[in-house]
């Protein structure tokens, strides 16, 4: 019975600062043990939503439930959540052990119990040799572990991570990313993780919640979002390099096929979208950089090469259509077309996203 | 090299003025305290440590010292007690923080003499604000208190002094608290810390350097305390209000009647200097902590 109660539920949550709405009717359900990433650009409301979940900010409307209990108006400590702050928020005057054991100390737990649990958490994070050090004697990565340790030791119902990797250098970031994922597998608690970095989201999340301007744009597993974005924003926000967005005009739209003209000379034939578009309409299509192949035959688009970047395992080619629109290609392996040369690009029709006037993906298929 | 010479050149006038008008007189104090000297004329009689022996047997000196220490410790307790209390309350996220801070600081922008005069009026036994208010709320017995009687006047003055100084230290402490990152408090909120626990485990340790400097400033102020009790005592300061500073002044220059015992007065100055130095060294040592980074 208890298995059916989700770890977290938000219903119609809204919040405004003065006249500006930062969260607009947020609905979200998170199952127990899930690792959910809130992803979006700066100012999309993801950090605000996390602070509201923690109880650090009040909400204007709606409700929160944690494991079935309404915590909308509960004090932060009563929600049984632990948060890892972007700045880590370690207490500079306390050593690592005191930082990790702070919550138990103020709850007046016996010293032996505090020491035991602090050591257990430190062992999980491999920082047991640092317990007597002050934060200023720690590296960025070590501080980050201490902050996580402070969360682990409480064994909360939900872990909240607010962009915890943004202060680390690139190498340490990818290393810590893997460690947090491992930690999640090991302890199994529900985790909500805020980031603007789509690589973190794609690699860590069970499900990603893409947000923009206070609204949830789409929720789903990483590949589900990548392969089947609901709209133009989700399509461009996920993927690096970003999806190519190209203007195309509809030449034919019937129950059999959708024929598009791309640039002056390119023509693409796609599966039908049931006449949702009319001939002559100018629309936008999305093509992932890795959806191109170089070849000849039907459904080709001619381009001119602007710049080639050799990455060893793949080649990134920046090129232009004959009407000046730019494209980025990711071609597996090593090829080296001369700058200024022409290429014929082939694109698998089923991998092309078609966006209507309202930026919705006309080929989006909602899962039931 | 030229740059260094220029720096020396620019610093020279200030150093000369500081040395000539402050350092030399301060050091001379030790010398003059060994003489019987009116402060005027050439006649100086070397008497060795006699001035200090006299101080040791001078009940008025001991009264002044006791009053000075009472200001330092009792006054300090209340000044910092209230400043901390207001800091906690004003930084707890209440509305009107800046307004209240201004209100508490206002006494510091008014002349000390005017404030002392105002408090003398407040304490006036018959028509003063304090007793009138006490009568109005029905505390007629308390309202009969003669606040400026010899028994009460020092403590009445000290209460007013606390009122004057609390705002200043409140500003210092609040500036220190504003420097503490808010996420430290938020992390504590998530752990379930009470207002008191946040104050004790976060504010105090993270405010340590500001507290240390505030204590030193208060100590220097308290030991040299002069203007407020002097003005509070009006033209003829009663002995109950004597501080070391006042006693030094009176022995050096007199009140209505001149006394002119500058040699003796400088001995008091030397004692003040020694107390100040010793206390600062002790307090700095007690409050020494490693620098925090946040």
| CB contacts, 8 Å: A103 with chain B | 190-192
Confidence of residue B291 (pLDDT cuts 50, 70, 90): confident
CATH of the domain at B272: 1.10.3720.10
Provide mean pLDDT across the span B16-40. 89
- How many other C-beta atoms can be found within 10 angstroms of the C-beta atom of residue B151? 12
- Residues in chain B with CB shorter than 8 Å from the CB of A54 are 186, 190
Q: Would you say residue B88 lies in a domain?
A: yes
Contacts of A92 in chain B (CB under 8 A): 206, 292-294
A281 compared with B93, residue with greater pLDDT:
A281
CB pairs under 8 A between A and B: 72
Q: What is the pLDDT of residues B159-203, one digit of tens each?
A: 999 999 999 999 999 999 999 999 999 999 999 999 889 999 999
Q: What is the mean pLDDT of chain B?
A: 89
Tell me what pLDDT residue A3 has: 55
**Which pLDDT does position A157 carry in this prediction?**
94
In a domain, B19, yes or no: no
Give the mean pLDDT of B281-290.
Answer: 86
Mean pLDDT (whole number) for B32-46: 83
Q: Suggest the residue from B181, B187, B201 to mutate for an interface test with chain A (most A CBs closer than 10 A).
A: B187
Domain containing B106: what range?
32-286
> Which of B189, B190, B201 is best to mutate for the A interface (most A CBs within 10 A)?
B190
Mean pLDDT of A316-320: 95
The pLDDT of residue A368: 39
Does the CB of B280 have a partner CB in chain A at under 8 Å?
A: no
Q: Which residue has the tokens 């119609």?
A: A12
User: DSSP string spanning A313-368?
Assistant: SEEEEEEEETTS-EEEEEEES---PPTT-EEEEEE-GGG-EEE-TTSBBTT-----
Q: How would residue A200 be classed by pLDDT, with cut points 50, 70 and 90?
A: very high
Task: Among A20-29, A149-158, B40-49, B281-290, name the one with the lowest average pLDDT.
Answer: B40-49
Residue found under tokens 């752990």: B191
Residue A84 has pLDDT above 80, yes or no: yes
In A205-290, alpha helices (H): 222-227, 232-237
Candidates A92, A109, A143, A148: best to mutate against B (most CBs of B within 10 A) is: A92
| Low-confidence winner among A27-31, A264-268, B145-149 (lowest mean pLDDT) | B145-149
Return the residue of B nearest to A151 by Cα: B191
Query: The tokens 């002050």 sit on which residue?
Result: A134
Q: Examine residue B115 and state whether it is found in any structural domain, yes or no.
A: yes
Instruction: Supply the pLDDT for residue B92.
Output: 78
Look at residue A42 and tell me whether its pLDDT is greater than 60: yes
Stretch 183-242 of chain B: residues touching chain A, C-beta under 8 Å: 183-184, 186-194, 197, 201-202, 205-206, 208
Judged by CB atoms closer than 8 Å, whether chains meet at B192 and A77 is answered as yes
The verdict on domain A244-355 having CATH code 1.10.579.10 is no
- pLDDT score of B290: 75
What is the C-alpha to C-alpha distance for residues B21 and B7, in angstroms, rounded to an integer?
A: 22
For chain A, what are the domain ranges? 2-237, 244-355
- Report the share of chain B in percent with pLDDT over 90: 52
CATH architecture label of A2-237: 3-Layer(aba) Sandwich (3.40)
Least confident of A126-140, A304-318, A321-335, B85-99: B85-99
Does B293 sit within 8 Å of A135, measured CB to CB?
Answer: yes
* Mean pLDDT of the A290-294 span: 91
- Would the CB atoms of B290 and A54 count as touching at under 8 Å? no
- Residue of chain A nearest B198, judged by CA positions: A106
Per residue in B197-214, pLDDT (tens digit) is: 999 999 999 999 999 999
Chain B residues with CB under 8 Å of A55 CB are 189-190
pLDDT grade, residue A367 (50/70/90)?
low
Q: Is the pLDDT of residue B39 over 80?
A: no
**Cα separation, A59 vs A15, whole angstroms:** 5
Q: How far is A32 from chain B (nearest CA, A)?
A: 21
pLDDT of A48 reads 95
Which residue in A55, A89, A92 is closest to B187 by CB distance? A89
Angstrom distance (rounded) from CA B65 to CA B60: 8
What is the per-residue pLDDT across A138-192, written as a single tens digit (0 to 9) for each? 998 899 999 999 999 989 999 999 999 988 888 888 888 998 999 999 999 999 9
Q: Report which of A282, A279, A337, A284 is spatially closest to residue A306, judged by C-alpha positions.
A: A337
User: B99 lies in a domain?
Assistant: yes
Give residue A1's pLDDT: 43
Question: Are B184 and A81 inside 8 Å of each other by CB?
Answer: no
Shortest Cα–Cα distance, A94 to chain B (Å): 9
Domain count, chain B: 1
Q: Please judge whether A106 and B293 are an interchain contact, meaning their C-beta atoms are less than 8 angstroms apart.
A: no
Name every chain A residue with its beta carbon within 8 A of the beta carbon of B190: 54-56, 76-77, 81-83, 103
Do the domain assignments include residue B14? no
> Least CB-CB distance to B202: which of A76, A91, A107?
A91
**Residue B4: inside a domain:** no
Answer whether residue B239 shows pLDDT above 70: yes
Least confident of A97-106, B36-45, B47-56, B80-89: B36-45
In a domain, residue B25? The reply is no
Q: Of the candidates B90, B246, B83, which has an alpha carbon nearest to the alpha carbon of residue B154?
A: B246
Kindly report the average pLDDT of chain A as a whole number. Answer: 91
Question: In chain B, which residues have their Cβ closer than 8 Å to the Cβ of A89?
Answer: 181, 183-184, 186-187
pLDDT reported for residue B41? 76
Going by C-alpha positions, the residue among A80, A85, A84 that lies closest to residue A7 is A80
Exposed e or buried b for every residue in B204-216, given b needs 16+ CB within 10 A?
Answer: ebbbbebbbebbb
The verdict on residue B206 lying in a domain is yes
């Amino acid at each position: 019975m208890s298995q059916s109660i989700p770890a977290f539920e938000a219903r119609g949550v809204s919040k405004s600062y003065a006249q500006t709405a930062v969260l607009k009717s947020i609905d979200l359900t998170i199952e127990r043990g899930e690792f959910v990433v809130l992803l979006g650009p700066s100012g999309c409301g993801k950090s605000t939503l996390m602070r509201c979940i923690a109880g650090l900010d009040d909400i204007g409307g709606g409700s929160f439930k944690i494991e079935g209990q309404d915590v909308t108006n509960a004090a932060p400590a009563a929600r049984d959540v632990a948060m890892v702050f972007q700045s880590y928020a370690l207490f500079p005057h306390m050593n690592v052990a005191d930082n990790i054991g702070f919550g138990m100390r103020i709850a007046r737990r016996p010293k032996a119990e505090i020491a035991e649990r602090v050591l257990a958490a430190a062992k999980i994070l491999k920082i047991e040799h640092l317990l007597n050090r002050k934060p200023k004697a720690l590296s960025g990565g070590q501080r980050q572990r201490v902050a996580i340790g402070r969360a682990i030791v409480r064994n909360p119902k939900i872990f909240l991570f607010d962009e915890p990797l943004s202060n680390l250098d690139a190498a340490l970031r990818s290393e810590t990313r893997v460690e947090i994922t491992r930690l999640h597998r090991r302890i199994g608690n529900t985790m909500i993780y805020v980031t603007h970095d789509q690589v973190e989201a794609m690699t860590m999340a069970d499900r990603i919640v893409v947000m923009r301007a206070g609204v949830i744009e789409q929720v789903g597993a990483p590949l589900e979002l990548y392969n089947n974005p609901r709209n133009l924003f989700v399509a461009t926000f996920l993927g690096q390099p970003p999806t190519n967005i190209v203007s195309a005009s509809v030449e034919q739209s019937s129950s059999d096929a959708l024929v598009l003209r791309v640039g002056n000379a390119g023509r693409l034939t796609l599966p039908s979208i049931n006449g949702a578009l009319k001939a002559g309409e100018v629309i936008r299509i999305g093509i992932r950089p890795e959806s191109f192949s170089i070849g000849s035959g039907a459904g080709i688009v001619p381009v001119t090469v602007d710049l080639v970047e050799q990455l060893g395992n793949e080649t990134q080619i920046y090129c232009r259509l004959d009407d000046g629109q730019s494209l980025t290609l990711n071609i597996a392996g090593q090829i080296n077309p001369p700058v200024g040369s022409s290429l014929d690009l082939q694109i698998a029709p089923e991998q092309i996203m078609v966006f209507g006037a309202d930026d919705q993906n006309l080929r989006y298929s909602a899962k039931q | 090299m030229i740059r260094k010479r220029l720096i020396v050149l620019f610093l020279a006038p200030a150093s000369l003025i500081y040395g000539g008008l402050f350092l030399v007189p301060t050091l001379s104090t030790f010398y003059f305290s060994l003489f019987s000297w009116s402060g005027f004329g050439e006649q100086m009689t070397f008497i060795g440590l006699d001035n200090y022996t006299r101080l040791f047997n001078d009940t008025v000196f001991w009264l002044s010292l006791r009053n000075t220490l009472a200001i330092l410790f009792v006054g300090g307790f209340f000044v910092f007690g209230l400043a901390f209390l207001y800091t906690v309350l004003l930084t707890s996220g209440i509305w009107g923080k800046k307004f209240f801070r201004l209100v508490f600081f206002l006494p510091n922008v008014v002349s000390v003499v005017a404030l002392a005069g105002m408090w003398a009026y407040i304490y006036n036994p018959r028509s003063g604000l304090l007793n009138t208010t006490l009568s109005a709320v029905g505390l007629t017995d308390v309202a009969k208190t003669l606040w400026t009687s010899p028994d009460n006047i020092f403590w009445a003055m000290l209460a007013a002094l606390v009122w004057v100084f609390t705002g200043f230290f409140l500003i210092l402490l609040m500036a220190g608290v504003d420097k503490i990152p808010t996420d430290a408090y938020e992390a504590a909120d998530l752990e379930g810390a009470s207002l008191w626990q946040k104050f004790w485990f976060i504010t105090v340790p993270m405010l340590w350097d500001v507290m240390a400097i505030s204590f030193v400033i208060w100590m220097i102020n308290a030991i040299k305390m002069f203007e407020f009790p002097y003005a509070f005592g009006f033209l003829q300061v009663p002995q109950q209000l004597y501080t070391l500073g006042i006693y030094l002044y009176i022995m050096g220059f007199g009140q209505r009647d001149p006394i002119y015992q500058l040699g003796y007065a400088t001995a008091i100055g030397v004692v003040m200097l020694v107390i100040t130095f010793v206390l600062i060294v002790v307090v700095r040592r007690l409050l020494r902590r490693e620098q925090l980074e946040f």
